[in-house]
A and B are shown apart, each in its own frame.
Chain A
Amino acid sequence: DQQVKQNSPSLSVQEGRISILNCDYTNSMFDYFLWYKKYPAEGPTFLISISSIKDKNEDGRFTVFLNKSAKHLSLHIVPSQPGDSAVYFCAASRVNAGGTSYGKLTFGQGTILTVHP
């Protein structure tokens, strides 16, 4: 049962344009969402996150949007750069009553982003 899904295995974008990566989830108990970036043969690195009490979080060129009613989130990268080419993973977790998540994450399958010069 895939609780977090990234339905696009790959995305190709021209340098300078916007990249939009999508993620859907089925478990309504998830209330914290994260995006990770991964290069081949390396560990994922954290990019940006969003709590379910928000619908948007922005950090430089990266913006994450959350639509709770649709159980959908997206990562926007603008402008896209060749160095952004990597695999992007969406992940979800639950925050406990103390207000922290233990970092136990459920990941999507990943989307390979290629940014062409």
Chain B
Amino acid sequence: DGGITQSPKYLFRKEGQNVTLSCEQNLNHDAMYWYRQDPGQGLRLIYYSQIVNDFQKGDIAEGYSVSREKKESFPLTVTSAQKNPTAFYLCASSSHRAKVTEAFFGQGTRLTVV
């Protein structure tokens, strides 16, 4: 089945450690995105990538890094510089060729920093 897979679903890390969240899609979508959800704030864009080997900062990129070495994969690293990393992280993808360009989301990763 085609879709977006985020792993793990729950992740616990100690403060000061970097952590990488995985996102893989087999939808052959060109663009991929990382959003963060906090209570009462909706979804905020962290980074996005429209093609392989290229990515752009979103609205809240500080303390995060990404790579896009393959079309199918867009991992997000939450670095120790991120001041408030505990959140629900959502990965999404979309096709440039679709007229109705809704983004398809993964199931999310709940990151808790202790």
Q: Which A residues form the contact surface with B (CB < 8 A)?
A: 4, 6, 9, 32, 34, 36, 41-46, 49, 89, 91, 93, 99-110
- Please count how many residues in chain B sit with their CB below 8 Å of the partner chain's CB atoms: 34
The interface residues of chain B lying within 8 Å CB-to-CB of A89 are 42-43
Are the C-beta atoms of A103 and B106 separated by less than 8 Å?
Answer: no
Nearest chain A CB to B41's CB is how many angstroms away? 6
The answer, among B9, B93, B105, for a CB contact under 8 Å with A44, is: B105
- With beta carbons under 8 angstroms apart, the residue of B33, B44, B97, B99 that contacts A104 is B33
Given A43-B108, A107-B42, CB of A99 within 8 Å of CB of B94: no
In the complex, are the beta carbons of B33 and A41 less than 8 A apart?
Answer: no
Chain A: minimal CB distance from B49 (Å): 10
Residue contact B105 to A103, C-beta cutoff 8 Å: no
Closest to A3 in B: B59
Contacts between the two chains (Cβ within 8 Å), count: 74
Q: Is B114 an interface residue (CB 8 A)?
A: no
| 27 A-B pairs with C-beta separation under 8 A | A4-B42, A9-B40, A32-B101, A34-B102, A41-B107, A41-B110, A42-B108, A43-B92, A43-B107, A44-B105, A45-B105, A49-B102, A100-B96, A100-B97, A100-B98, A102-B31, A102-B48, A103-B103, A104-B31, A104-B33, A104-B45, A105-B103, A107-B42, A107-B44, A108-B42, A109-B41, A109-B42
Determine if A44 and B101 form an interchain contact, defined as CB atoms under 8 angstroms apart. Answer: no
A43 touches B105 (CB 8 A): yes
Cα A107 to Cα B45 with chains together (Å): 9
Q: How far is the CA of A45 from the CA of B92 in the complex (A)?
A: 11
**Is B99 touching A100 in the complex (CB atoms < 8 A)?**
yes
- What residues of chain B lie closer than 8 Å to A6, measured between beta carbons? 42
- Extra A-B contacts (10), CB below 8 Å, given A89-B43, A91-B43: A36-B105, A45-B105, A49-B102, A102-B31, A102-B48, A102-B94, A102-B96, A103-B93, A105-B103, A109-B42
Seen from chain B, the residues whose Cβ lies within 8 Å of a Cβ on chain A are 4, 6, 9, 31, 33, 35, 40-45, 48, 50, 88, 90, 92-108, 110
Q: Is the CB of B100 within 8 A of A49?
A: yes
**Most chain B CB within a 10 A radius of its CB, from A6, A42, A104:** A104
